[in-house]
């Protein structure tokens, strides 16, 4: 159970770098007069503090990629932001990124807000040497002369245990783990306040994955940046993140300190995710969850998890549970987990 | 039937090196031997990093590739001796694949049940329609589904976990004695993964189907398999009873693999376990 370390409930954290409130983003399509609405992000509120790694866990089509795309203001049709705000606070200025003008966004991207993406091949230009990619991405943000800039790049690479030789290489000449390290170097060269990492280690091998995660952790602690780290791999969350938000079918269902969530998960979905994690040395039969994730175009009424939930009762089929504080810094959206409030 | 089900006898497979433009030969599988017994079904895990030759080994066992050296025998029959259609058909009935990505294994334009019917007709050789339906229904029941649930549906209407079950059901229709499953859970969502892994165990115990379970996930390998083979750059570096090997790995590479598995227990200090030396964890492929 958590103790005094966690922030007091209902009260804003002192140094929230990112405040998302009431965010809804739907995919809206209209084909031959048939309107379809996929509620990929449905009423999500969360805060990320300075110098914190905030993990987002959820399976495919739970809306986690849509959420971070919206947070990065990288939405394009048919994805539309229906309501809510995404407020960043970078040093002295506050920006609602959903209302920012393109010029403001350009200045902010990479300088204040950068990304580490899953497919490193998609970030690194395959026909340019790594050095040119660094110039393309970061040079204009740093306002230095070219020799100064290149020296900075070399120093930064050295800090991340990368040889300066990689600058001369084309992406295909590097191994997968190496490329992912280069994209991390690229994302952190401008010392951004906020980094969005979308499944950065999913395509990597276990051995390489651990090295890349260690590097992300080390560079985050050094720069004091905040990271939103998205992955479906709960073991990665357990080892890397400070706080964790669990998404299911477009909604946040539980949020708290990673230590508390793994120690005492409150939502039945989270509890299942953690109980079904395979671990070395364990051969006890693992429970399987019945059913499949819902179709977000026609989500079930009430709590979206109720068709698969072992604790579901009549109310869960009618009403949508709100996120409620169950302990300091620990919120959960479940009637069964918050019985005293359900009455 | 007694005697060995599958014997792999000092098998190597190399790629490249023959053409004018090729620079070097890659030895993807290097002198591997193993034996599966037909009297007792078992799950054999093959683990290793990407590029260690796991998938090449799978393709060799499925007879999609032939070995450069050595011999693979299935029930005593050398796979290279399979020439005529009938023998090939018999082999395909007995050895069936399950692939990594169920979304790619099925044609998105084709209804799922047609795959099952086609497999019943062509591989299992079931003649009439009613018998095909029965065969499909039985295989689907074995994986916890039914024909009514999937009839007329397209792959995009089903979840990854369901599709992978259907892929396994399809493989079960001809009544195989060996399944070669290449990373069958790595594309499956966490909440559905346990059910697929449990299914592999269940096939062994209930239907006496042996499974070659290829994976990079040591934790599920420990959970599901009887024996394990650890591969690095085409060679088997360690093998034995899965639990003994993983509880007490001897080879440095096996130890490295085991150390790299992230434990799902949260350390009191986030990131603490990651820090034990990032510079040595990259294994070069050069």
pLDDT tens readout for residues B212-246: 999 888 888 998 999 999 999 899 999 999 999 99
* Closest CA in chain B for residue A289: B191
Which residue among B198, B222, B262 sits closest to A238, beta carbon to beta carbon? B262
Looking at residue A120, what is its pLDDT?
63
Q: How many residues does chain A have?
A: 343
Looking at residue A342, what is its pLDDT?
45
Confidence of residue B51 (pLDDT cuts 50, 70, 90): confident
The average pLDDT across B15-39 equals: 79
Separation of alpha carbons A169 and A188, rounded Å? 20
Residue B148: other Cβ atoms inside 10 A: 8
**B192 interfacial to chain A (CB closer than 8 Å):** yes
**A77 interfacial to chain B (CB closer than 8 Å):** no
User: Between chains, do B189 and A221 touch, taking CB under 8 Å as contact?
Assistant: no
Q: Which domain holds residue B23?
A: 4-284
User: What is the overall mean pLDDT for chain B?
Assistant: 86
Angle between helices B252-260 and A206-223 (to 10 degrees): 50
Separation of alpha carbons A268 and A248, rounded Å? 11
Distance in Å, alpha carbon of A218 to nearest chain B alpha carbon: 8
Looking at residue B24, what is its pLDDT?
67
Q: What's the distance, CA A19 to chain centroid? A: 14
The average pLDDT across B23-35 equals: 85
Q: Is A321 within the bounds of a domain? A: no
Q: Are A237 and A57 in contact (CB under 8 A)?
A: yes
User: What is the overall mean pLDDT for chain A?
Assistant: 85
Residues 253-282 of A with CB under 8 A from B: 258-259, 262-263, 269, 272-274, 276-282
A127-151 pLDDT per residue, tens = 999 999 999 989 988 888 999 999 9
Q: Is A342 within the bounds of a domain? A: no
Looking at residue A260, what is its pLDDT?
92
**A176 interfacial to chain B (CB closer than 8 Å):** yes
ipTM of the modeled complex: 0.74
What would the two tokens of residue A169 be? Answer: 């290489």
**B49 interfacial to chain A (CB closer than 8 Å):** yes
* Closest CA in chain A for residue B187: A60
Q: Are B240 and B56 in contact (CB under 8 A)?
A: no
A248-275 pLDDT per residue, tens = 999 999 999 999 999 999 999 999 888 8
The total number of structural domains that make up chain B: 1
Q: Is A284 within the bounds of a domain? A: no
Of A149, A121, A148, A151, nearest to A137 (Cα)?
Answer: A149
Of A318, A130, A119, nearest to A199 (Cα)?
Answer: A119
* B85: CATH: 3.40.50.300
First to last CA, chain A: 24
A8-34 pLDDT per residue, tens = 444 444 578 999 999 999 988 887 778
- Report which secondary-structure segment, H or E, holds A87: strand A79-90
pTM of the full predicted structure?
0.82
* A47: CATH: 3.40.50.300
B160-209 pLDDT per residue, tens = 888 888 999 999 999 999 999 998 887 777 777 888 888 999 999 999 99
Separation of alpha carbons B241 and B44, rounded Å? 9
Looking at residue B6, what is its pLDDT?
94
Q: Is A21 within the bounds of a domain? A: yes
A162-166 long-range Cβ contacts below 8 angstroms, 24+ apart = A166/A130
Chain A residues whose CB is inside 8 A of the B247 CB are: 281
Cis peptide upstream of residue A78 (ω within 30 degrees of 0): yes
The total number of structural domains that make up chain A: 1
In A199-336 the beta strands, taken as DSSP E runs, fall at: 226-230, 243-248, 251-257, 324-327, 330-332
Which residue among A238, A286, A292 sits closest to B159, beta carbon to beta carbon? A292
Separation of alpha carbons A164 and A181, rounded Å? 13
Helices (H), B143-251: 147-150, 160-172, 190-207, 218-224, 242-247
Looking at residue B62, what is its pLDDT?
94
Chain A residues whose CB is inside 8 A of the B197 CB are: 278, 286
Confidence of residue A60 (pLDDT cuts 50, 70, 90): confident
Distance in Å, alpha carbon of B172 to nearest chain A alpha carbon: 21
Q: Give the dihedral sign, CA A89/A90/A95/A97.
A: negative
The average pLDDT across A285-309 equals: 84
Looking at residue A233, what is its pLDDT?
86
What would the two tokens of residue A98 be? Answer: 């959903």
Q: Is A215 within the bounds of a domain? A: yes
Chain B residues whose CB is inside 8 A of the A296 CB are: none
What would the two tokens of residue B231 be? Answer: 């591969």
Q: What's the distance, CA A89 to chain centroid? A: 18
Q: What is the DSSP letter of A310?
A: T
Q: Which domain holds residue A248?
A: 16-278+291-302
Q: What's the distance, CA B110 to chain centroid? A: 24
């Amino acid at each position: 159970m958590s103790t005094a370390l966690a922030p007091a409930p209902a009260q804003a954290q002192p140094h929230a770098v990112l405040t998302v409130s009431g965010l809804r983003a739907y995919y809206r399509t209209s084909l031959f007069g048939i309107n379809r609405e996929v509620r990929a992000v449905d009423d999500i509120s969360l805060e990320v503090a300075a110098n914190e790694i905030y993990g987002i866990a959820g399976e495919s089509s739970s809306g986690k990629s849509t959420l971070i795309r919206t947070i990065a203001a990288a939405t394009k049709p048919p994805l539309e932001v229906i309501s809510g705000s995404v407020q960043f606070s970078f040093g002295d200025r506050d920006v609602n990124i959903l209302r920012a003008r393109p010029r403001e966004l350009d200045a902010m991207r990479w300088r204040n807000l950068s990304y580490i993406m899953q497919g490193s091949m998609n970030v690194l230009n395959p026909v340019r040497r790594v050095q040119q990619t660094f110039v393309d991405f970061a040079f204009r943000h740093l306002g230095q002369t070219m020799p100064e800039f290149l020296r900075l790049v070399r120093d930064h690479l050295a800090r991340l245990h990368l040889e300066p030789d990689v600058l001369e290489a084309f992406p295909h000449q590097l191994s997968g783990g190496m490329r992912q390290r280069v994209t991390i170097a690229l994302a952190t060269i401008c010392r951004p306040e906020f980094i969005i990492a979308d499944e950065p280690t999913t395509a990597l091998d276990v051995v390489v994955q651990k090295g890349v995660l260690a590097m992300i952790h080390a560079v985050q602690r050094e720069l004091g940046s905040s990271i939103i780290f998205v992955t479906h791999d709960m073991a990665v969350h357990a080892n890397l993140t400070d706080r964790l938000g669990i998404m299911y079918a477009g909604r946040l269902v539980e949020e708290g300190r990673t230590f508390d969530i793994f120690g005492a998960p409150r939502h039945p979905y989270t509890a299942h995710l953690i109980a079904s994690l395979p671990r070395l040395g364990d051969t006890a039969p693992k429970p399987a969850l019945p059913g499949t994730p819902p179709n977000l175009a026609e989500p079930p009424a009430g709590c979206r998890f109720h068709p698969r939930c072992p604790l579901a009762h009549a109310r869960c089929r009618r009403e949508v549970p709100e996120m409620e504080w169950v302990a300091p810094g620990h919120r959960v959206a479940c009637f069964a987990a918050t019985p005293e409030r359900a009455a | 039937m007694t005697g060995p089900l599958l014997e792999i006898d000092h098998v190597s497979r190399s790629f490249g090196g023959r053409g004018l433009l090729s620079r070097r030969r890659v030895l993807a599988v290097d002198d591997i031997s193993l034996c599966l017994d037909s009297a007792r079904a078992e799950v054999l895990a093959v683990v290793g990093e990407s590029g260690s030759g796991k998938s090449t080994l799978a393709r060799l066992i499925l007879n999609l590739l032939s070995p450069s050296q050595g011999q693979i025998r299935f029930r005593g029959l050398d796979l290279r001796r399979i020439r005529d259609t009938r023998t090939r058909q018999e082999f395909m009935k007995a050895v069936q694949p399950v692939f990594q990505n169920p979304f790619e294994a099925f044609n998105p334009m084709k209804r799922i049940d047609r795959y099952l019917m086609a497999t019943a007709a062509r591989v299992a050789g079931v003649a009439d329609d009613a018998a095909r339906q029965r065969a499909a229904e039985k295989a689907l029941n074995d994986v916890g589904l039914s024909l009514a649930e999937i009839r007329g549906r397209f792959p995009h209407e089903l979840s990854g976990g369901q599709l992978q079950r259907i892929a396994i059901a399809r493989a079960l229709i001809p009544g195989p004695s060996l399944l070669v499953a290449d990373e069958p859970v790595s594309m499956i969502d966490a909440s559905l993964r346990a059910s697929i892994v449990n299914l592999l165990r269940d096939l062994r115990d209930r239907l006496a189907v042996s499974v070659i379970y290829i994976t990079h996930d040591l934790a599920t390998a420990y959970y599901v398999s009887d024996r394990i083979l650890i591969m690095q750059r085409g060679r088997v570096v360690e093998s034995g009873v899965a639990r003994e090997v993983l509880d007490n790995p001897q080879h440095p590479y096996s130890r490295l693999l085991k150390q790299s598995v992230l434990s799902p227990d949260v350390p009191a200090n986030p990131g603490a376990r990651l820090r034990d030396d990032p510079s040595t964890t990259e294994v070069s492929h050069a």
